[in-house]
Amino acid sequence: MRARFEHVLVNHEMLIFRGGRIYPESFAGDTTAARHYRNVNGYGRFLLKNHWLRRGEVIEPSGLWALNDHSHDNYYHWIVDVLPRILRAEATHPDERVLLLPDAFRRHRYVAFTLQAFPHIRVRWISARAKVRVQELAWIPRQPPERRAGQLREVARRVAALAGEPGTARRIYLSRADAPRRRERPLAELEHVLRAHDFEIVAIDPVRPWEQVRTCRGADVIAGVHGAALTNLIFMAPGGRLLELRHGDDAIFFDAFRPLTRAIGVEHHVQICRPAQADYGWETNNADLIIDLDLLRENLRALAT
């Protein structure tokens, strides 16, 4: 794969293309999205949208591309996937200052906050109604695990410096009570158990992303249901402990946080929980979880030793 493209177009769907050809570097491999665009109907809609409906184009002399179809606009993928690529670009493309991002990323406060860790970067936002023609596009691939571990530690160091002093709570639970999916049940009883074991229950405020960084930076133990908020474990000091509550169907589960704990030097503990809906298929990943409170008490006591 090449490191630079000349005279290509990029769009809001995170595709790199030219003359009707979608470049394979748009994808993380033989993914669902890649197969979609190889399908006649998917490719036809791509042509309709980008060569007819998006008739106009914005011209950018150069730009940095740190995305593919797995770079979803959520906190986990931004921190773990996109920021390490931007960090890598400092070594491979030190003169490039323009980062191209879809407009969808703009709505997240953590994007603007964490990009302060890269003060040389300015963003060119890609509208959903337009496409950008880039004369010279610097492409940064998804970073391999052996390189990303060190990059994550550096990203964590820079972002933590932006956030300020660590919080004072040593044992925190990252609540999903206000989330639209994958919530914890029974909530009131769960919170009672957590407080009895000296946990502070933390709800993430998306408007103030630095607060979650500060809170997790000061914690010795973090517990919570599998979700993007657990990404904040990268701000813990080595030797910290994570308790991840998740369902037990490994066939449809993305083990996202175990590699992060290894990279940071944090112990990873898991409590398997029963999904609220049985035989839910892939959507089991979105089901609320029934927490076994007796087992939780055992796990919390073990974490205290």
What are 171-210's pLDDT values in tens digits? 999 999 999 999 999 999 999 999 999 999 999 999 999 9
pLDDT at 201: 98
The pLDDT, as a whole number, for residue 277 is 81
d(CA 181, CA 286): 6
Q: Beta-strand (E) ranges in 40-183?
A: 58-65, 98-102, 122-126, 131-139, 171-175
Distance CA 122, CA 97 (A): 6
pLDDT band for 1, please (50, 70, 90 cuts). low
What lies within 8 Å, CB to CB, of 212 at 6+ separation is: 174, 202, 204, 205, 229, 232
Q: What is the rounded average pLDDT for all residues in the chain?
A: 94
Segments of the chain assigned E as strands: 4-11, 16-18, 21-22, 58-65, 98-102, 122-126, 131-139, 171-175, 184-185, 200-203, 221-225, 241-246, 267-272, 274-275, 289-290
Partnered with residue 202 across adjacent β-strands are 174
pLDDT digits (tens, 9 = 90+) for 121-145: 999 999 998 899 999 999 999 998 8
Flag whether pLDDT at 55 surpasses 90. Answer: no
Predicted pLDDT at 223: 98
Nearest of 40, 104, 41 to residue 67 by alpha carbon:
104
Q: How many CB atoms lie within 10 A of CB 33?
A: 19
Average pLDDT over residues 27-49: 95
Q: Is the pLDDT of residue 28 over 80?
A: yes
pLDDT above 90 as % of the chain: 87
b/e per residue, 73-107, with b = 16+ CB within 10 A?
Answer: bebbbbbbbbbbbbbbbeeebeebebbbbbebbee
Nearest 10 degrees: Cα torsion 246, 250, 254, 257: 60
Rounded distance, CA 167 to CA 37, Å? 46
* Structure tokens, 160: 């933590």
Domains (ranges, CATH) in the chain?
4-162 (no CATH), 171-303 (3.40.50)
- What does the pLDDT read at residue 52? 84
pLDDT bucket at 304, cuts 50 / 70 / 90: confident
Supply the pLDDT for residue 22: 97
Specify the pLDDT at position 2.
Answer: 64
